A = this chain, B = another copy of it.
Amino acid sequence: MLKMILLGFLNYTPMTGYDLKRVIDLSITNFWHAHHSQIYTTLRKMEAEALVESETEEQGDKLNRRVYHITEAGRETLHAWLAEPLDHLPATKNDHMVRLFFSAMRDRDTVLDELRIQRQLRQQRLAHYQNADLEHMVSSGAGDAADLDPAALLDRLRPDLGYWKLVLDYGIAYETLYIQTIDAMITWVEANT
């Protein structure tokens, strides 16, 4: 999966591992994440599989940048992956719900504390989503597309913007629901324990 994500971003423009880490953290971080260590090692594996190639940008006394670009084989792999519709529900994990499941054996106050903390964190994430301005993020170079000027970049990514907004809207709807759910949970715990 991470391989496909890296191919997905490299399909826009060549980037370093550092760039990829940043761009993931600025976009799909709440649907997929990876530490830099994993990204660097995965890129090496992908190069061995000929999905990407890299050139080291020599730059004097600074640390060299290793810039990766997607290969034709990489593009094919990416498109093959996207061509086959996902035919099962992605597995979800949610520590908080698991803990809630076992909460009859906990202190009432601990449960309430946890619910309030989670509520606040969800609220923060929601605010972050709501303040996100995709067009601005793209044109200010969040994607950092090499040698293009902001306007040209925005133009090239115009078709993507619609899908990115769909994903963002889902994030907003999800966090909103989660907060409502937590509120109902708090009310129930206060009344029934």
Residues of A within 8 A of B (CB): 1, 4-5, 8, 11, 27-28, 30-33, 78-79, 82-83, 85-107, 110, 113-114, 117-118, 121-122, 125, 159-160, 162-164, 166-167, 169-170, 173-174, 177, 180-181, 184-185, 188, 192-193
Chain B residues with CB under 8 Å of A166's CB are 100, 184-185, 188
Chain B residues with CB under 8 Å of A90's CB are 93-96
Could you show 8 A-B contacts with beta carbons less than 8 Å apart? Answer: A4-B98, A33-B93, A86-B114, A93-B93, A101-B163, A102-B163, A173-B180, A177-B177
Smallest CB-CB A-B distances: 10 pairs: A85-B114, A104-B159, A104-B160, A90-B95, A31-B97, A31-B94, A8-B102, A103-B163, A85-B113, A82-B106
* Oligomer: number of copies: 2
Q: Look across to chain B and name the residue whose beta carbon is closest to the beta carbon of A30.
A: B92
A101-B28, A162-B104 known; A110 vs B82 contact (CB < 8 Å): yes
Interface of A is mostly: helix
Contact A181 B188 (CB under 8 A): no
**A91 CB → nearest B CB, Å:** 6
Q: How far is the CA of A103 from the CA of B78 in the complex (A)?
A: 11
Contact B89 A27 (CB under 8 A): no
